[in-house]
Chain A
Amino acid sequence: MSHALETQLTTLETSGLIRAADVEPELEYLFRHALIQDAAYESLLKSDRRVLHRAVAETLEQLYPDQHDELAAVLALHFAAAQDQPKAIAYYRRAAQHAVGRYAYEEGLQHLEAALDLLPSGPNETRAALLEELADLHQLIRNGKQAVTLYQAALEQWASLAANAADSEIALRLHRKILETFPNMLIGGQFEQVQAMAPIMEHSQASLKAGVSKAETQSPRLETVRQLIALSRDAWLTSFRFEEVDLERGEQFARAAVQLAEQLNAPQELAAALEALAGVHYAHNQLREHLDLTLRRLALSREAQFNDLRGQVNVLGSVASAFVYVGEYQQAVPYTLEAEILSDRIRAVFWRVQALGVQSQCAFRLDRWDDMLRIADKRAELEKQYPREQVGFTCFEIGLTATIHALRGEMELARQLREQAYRIMVGGDTPDPNNWARNQHY
């Protein structure tokens, strides 16, 4: 630190305007009051502020070349204040990635939204890319409706940028992501929203089917695997909702996806393709085949190159459920416990609740009633903390809990839980028996 700077800081400190906040690992000062900071800031000319913000940002960049990810949010703020939009946007995107890497999803959303706000109006590629990144994040936290809206907006951006955008790889990828969103929305109980978005879904289905046919004549690509998986899930899972289930097509798409993923030696995509194929076996009531494929997914997820914790949680949950389907409850329990720990670590609320739900079913079927009630308490706590879209439907587990209380002769408690389960199943405080969640779900 220069002598002049040291003197100035000492003056400010002795006059009570700032105080030393830290000495190690770096000397750090804070304003004693936010009002002092505001007054100091407001006293600067705007042009001086821009210069100072840029100086701070560039100094940070130079001083900490290995910490740009950690400092990305601060750098973005300074570059934004310096009116260097390209650098600010780049750092906001980096900050968002870093936040998602730490499972700080809300923070990630804020950074991407801040980046979008900095863009000039009118179509541009960065806006399209940012909209897709924002949609991906909403998809990740199961805000399906918002994700689809943003993917649509991204598609519109690309369409206005290039005449052949509808045929482009990017457009196909966005259509694939749109189609991937609907099964999660259905599982999360957002039936009416899915129904309202049926035209979007149909458009994406048609675009993907055309894209996959075209891809047959091209060299194999991972994106094609992902598109086949999305079409398979759509054929048997999403379409079931609309009574247009086509298991045969679902199986064809899934088998093609497995074959292509094997050819490309891509473990994550292969695991996802096997999940799609397992889903078709489940729909056929071939539950042992479903279990075998799910265990194959588990083996893939244990490989070193399977670098996807969310994917691992998904696989663990699937393995536990697959054991439950064939009545092997004891075998299911360790996987539910592993899934619960891992999903807590990555803040995947839905998967954590799912893991607890499977634990609950195992305890119920094994007549371990005390265990089951303890698990139900844990699940109820999560339900209080998070919205239904993220928690998913829990009517079945609550119904099981009601059963245990009834079997113990605790009839009033059983009645309350039974009604709670029913309200969740039919939706809201004004239950409509025609809106039965189980029918809607399947």
Chain B
Amino acid sequence: MALPKMGAPPGNVAPGADHDLYAMLADTCAQQRDLAGLLKYATLAEATAAQCGHQLYLGIAHRAWGVAHRLAGAYAASEARLRRALEIFETLDTRWQLGRTWAELGELATAQHNRPQAQAYYQNALQLFEALGAQPDATRARAALDALA
């Protein structure tokens, strides 16, 4: 399923803060699994991040798109976006972002009924979350692994 195009950004926000705001909004929508919100903000997040070459926010935008495509059933597009996000987060060495992206890949693999792949992805996520002390995320990753067992 192809995702619809987005319109222009809404009115002015605070100076210099557009990309911060759109990255946060897109990321929040991704965590809420809010497809309408993702369609609204992921484009803006990607465009404003690309405008100034903000790699972290580009990674977040790719992940948001990955979630949006998965929610829309476009699994190949979803995986491509999530892989691009992974590449960026690996370069930046941002472990929580990496963990979250592995967890999204885990959820994508689960949706595709690929249990071994999903387990491997969730395991990657869990290791990163535990190393950071990210207890709530680690708990979620463990729960996902338990559900797959």
Chain A residues engaging chain B, CB cutoff 8 angstroms? 236, 240, 282-285, 287-288, 290, 325-327, 329, 365-367, 369, 406-409, 438, 442
Which residues of the partner chain B approach A284 to less than 8 Å between Cβ atoms?
A: 15
* Contact assessment for B15 and A365 in the assembled complex, using a CB-CB cutoff below 8 Å: no
Name the 7 nearest CB pairs between A and B, nearest first: A409-B135, A327-B54, A283-B15, A287-B52, A367-B96, A282-B16, A442-B14
**A325–B16 Cα gap in the complex (Å)?**
8
* Contact assessment for B53 and A285 in the assembled complex, using a CB-CB cutoff below 8 Å: no
- Contact A327 B133, CB 8 Å, known A285-B16, A285-B18: no
Which residues of the partner chain A approach B92 to less than 8 Å between Cβ atoms?
A: 329, 366
**A310–B49 Cα gap in the complex (Å)?**
33
Q: Is B117's beta carbon under 8 Å from chain A? A: no
Known contacts A287-B16, A288-B52, A408-B132; can you find 20 more A-B pairs with CB under 8 A?
A282-B15, A283-B15, A285-B15, A285-B48, A325-B52, A326-B52, A327-B49, A327-B57, A329-B56, A365-B94, A366-B94, A367-B94, A369-B132, A407-B137, A408-B133, A408-B135, A409-B134, A409-B136, A409-B139, A438-B14
- For B14, B52, B137, which residue has the most chain A Cβ atoms within 10 angstroms? B52
Which residues of the partner chain B approach A282 to less than 8 Å between Cβ atoms?
A: 15-16
**A265–B52 Cα gap in the complex (Å)?**
31
* Contact assessment for B94 and A283 in the assembled complex, using a CB-CB cutoff below 8 Å: no
Q: Which residue of B lies closest to A282 (CB)?
A: B16
* Contact assessment for B56 and A327 in the assembled complex, using a CB-CB cutoff below 8 Å: yes
Q: Per-residue 0/1 for B1-34: is the Cβ within 8 Å of any A Cβ (1 yes, 0 no)?
A: 0000000000000111011000000000000000
**A290–B56 Cα gap in the complex (Å)?**
19
Of B18, B55, B97, which is within 8 A of A327 by CB?
Answer: B55
Tally of B interface residues using CB under 8 Å: 27
Binding site secondary structure of chain A: helix
Write the nearest CB–CB distance from B111 to chain A, whole angstroms. 25
- Contact A407 B134, CB 8 Å, known A283-B16, A288-B52, A442-B15: yes
**A365–B96 Cα gap in the complex (Å)?**
9
**A367–B132 Cα gap in the complex (Å)?**
8
* Contact assessment for A288 and B53 in the assembled complex, using a CB-CB cutoff below 8 Å: yes
Which residues of the partner chain B approach A290 to less than 8 Å between Cβ atoms?
A: 16
Write the nearest CB–CB distance from A306 to chain B, whole angstroms. 26
Write the nearest CB–CB distance from A67 to chain B, whole angstroms. 49
**A240–B17 Cα gap in the complex (Å)?**
14
